[in-house]
Amino acid sequence: MNMIPTNYYLVLSAILFGLGVIAFVFKRNIIVIFMSIELMLNAVNLAFVAFSQAMGKLDGQVFVLFVIVVAAAEATVGLGIIILTARNRQSLNIERVDLLKL
Amino acid sequence: MTPQLGIFCVLAALSVLGALSLILQKHPIHSALSLIVVMVSLAGLYLLMGAEFVAAVQIIVYGGAIMVLFVFVIMLLNAGVEEYTNLSKLAGIAGIPLTVALAGFIAAAIGRSGEAVQAAAQTGAVSSTRGISTMLFKDFVYPFELTSVLILVAILGAIVLAQREK
């Protein structure tokens, strides 16, 4: 039914993960850094679904659901923290957010 | 080239371009829109793999909920163009070798595991949504209940964090 080798999906997942790491290291805006974490989670999800399809088992897709739930919870709390720090420091630059305490 | 491979190539190129655009754009809202492109093309790839339920959840939760939250926060904080300092250049100098090393490790791992995966492959066409629900409520019922507690904690945390101090 499916003619695409699993390796293609794994390579795409690795490329996306690498781009996420690059964005995480290079970007200076705290919101964009947070978005690059989501990109890495998405890349890992792609690998999970690819393995699930290759093995003919559904465990991988169930794990993807859990990852999505955790990502949603993380996004809510993380964005709350970002709003708080931005309000306290009047800046979204990561280099101005180098102390936990104001 | 089969039609499936063509669709895969288009969606893969779209997602990589979206990820590149996330890095290259200077304004956060443009980065957020590029990330939405990545997520929608990944949903297309899930459909291609026969994982309809995961594709729907990807669109609804990632594209619909999480990205709307991001865009809301960007607009709420009136985020402008990124500013770069000397420390940013330092991050670049240190980051390039580390990223290349990570990419090398991942490529080596894929190269080693590729044949094993292909060998273990079996084309069992499983009804994905029904199978996932059975699994979720039988084998993974305790983790599933734990995620509901996690979401409750996240809601409380967001409310506590975002409320204004007196």
Contact A34 B70 (CB under 8 A): yes
Contact B77 A83 (CB under 8 A): yes
The CATH number that applies at residue A71 is 1.10.287.3510
The residue in chain A having the minimum alpha-carbon distance to the alpha carbon of residue B45 is A46
Report the percent of chain B where pLDDT is more than 90: 44
Within a domain: residue A86?
yes
Within a domain: residue A81?
yes
Q: How much is the pLDDT for A45? A: 94
Contact B42 A45 (CB under 8 A): yes
Number of domains in chain A: 1
Number of domains in chain B: 2
Within a domain: residue B26?
yes
Q: How much is the pLDDT for B8? A: 92
- Based on the fold, state whether residues B61 and B133 are members of the same structural domain: no
- Asked if residue B128 lies in contact with residue B51, where contact means CB atoms within 8 angstroms, the answer is yes
Question: Could you write out the DSSP letters of every residue in B56-124?
Answer: HHIIIIIIIIIHHHHHHHHHHTT-------HHHHHHHHHHHHHHHHHHHHHHHHHHHHHHHHHHH----
Within a domain: residue B8?
yes
Average pLDDT on B53-76 reads 91
- Based on the fold, state whether residues B75 and B148 are members of the same structural domain: no
Is residue B79 predicted with pLDDT exceeding 60?
yes
Within a domain: residue B99?
no
Is residue B51 predicted with pLDDT exceeding 60?
yes
- Based on the fold, state whether residues B67 and B138 are members of the same structural domain: no
User: How far, in Å, CA of A3 to CA of A95, rounded?
Assistant: 47
Within a domain: residue B139?
yes
Range of the domain at A88: 30-94
User: Which one has a higher pLDDT value, B21 or B119?
Assistant: B21
- Asked if residue B36 lies in contact with residue A39, where contact means CB atoms within 8 angstroms, the answer is no
Q: How much is the pLDDT for B102? A: 85
Q: What is the largest CA-CA distance in chain B?
A: 64
Type of residue at B50: G
Within a domain: residue A67?
yes
- Based on the fold, state whether residues B2 and B78 are members of the same structural domain: yes
ipTM value for the complex:
0.90
What is the separation of C-alpha A78 from the centre of its chain, rounded to a whole number of angstroms? 12
Within a domain: residue A4?
no
- Tens digits of per-residue pLDDT, B123-163? 555 567 888 888 889 999 999 999 999 999 999 998 888 77
Within a domain: residue B101?
no
Range of the domain at B164: 129-166
| Total-model pTM | 0.88
Average pLDDT on B80-92 reads 73
Own/partner long-range contacts of B133-138 (Cβ < 8 Å, ≥24 apart):
B135/A58, B135/A59, B135/A62, B136/A62, B136/A65
- How many inter-chain contacts (A to B, CB under 8 Å) are there? 234
Is residue A13 predicted with pLDDT exceeding 70?
yes
Q: Measuring CA to CA, which residue among B51, B41, B57 is closest to residue A59?
A: B51
Instruction: Average the pLDDT over each of A27-31, B94-98, B113-117 and give the range with the smallest value.
Output: B113-117
Classify residue A29 by its DSSP letter.
B
Q: How much is the pLDDT for B90? A: 77
Within a domain: residue A42?
yes
Instruction: Average the pLDDT over each of A61-75, B13-27, B56-70, B98-112 and give the range with the smallest value.
Output: B98-112
Asked if B14 reaches chain A (Cβ–Cβ under 8 Å), the answer is no
Within a domain: residue A21?
no
Report the percent of chain B where pLDDT is more than 70: 87
Go through chain A and tell me how many residues it has.
Answer: 102
- Tens digits of per-residue pLDDT, A40-71? 999 999 999 998 888 888 888 999 999 999 99
Within a domain: residue B77?
yes
Contact B66 A1 (CB under 8 A): no
Contact B154 A74 (CB under 8 A): yes
- Based on the fold, state whether residues B64 and B2 are members of the same structural domain: yes
Within a domain: residue B165?
yes
Is residue B82 predicted with pLDDT exceeding 60?
yes
The residue in chain A having the minimum alpha-carbon distance to the alpha carbon of residue B100 is A18
pLDDT bracket for residue B121 (50, 70, 90)? low
pLDDT bracket for residue A73 (50, 70, 90)? very high
- Based on the fold, state whether residues B14 and B75 are members of the same structural domain: yes
